[in-house]
Structure 1
Amino acid sequence: MRKLDKDDIDIKNKIAVRMKALRGKTGKHMSAFASETDKDKQSQYRWETKGASILTVNKFCKEIGISVFDFFNDPVFKGK
Structure 2
Amino acid sequence: MVSRIIFWTGFGIATRVWQLGLQQIKPWSPKLLWAYPIFGACGASFGYWLETVDKKQVEILQERKEAILAKRARRAAREGEAA
TM class, shorter-length: 0.3 to 0.5
Write 1 or 2 for the structure with the bigger share of helix: 2
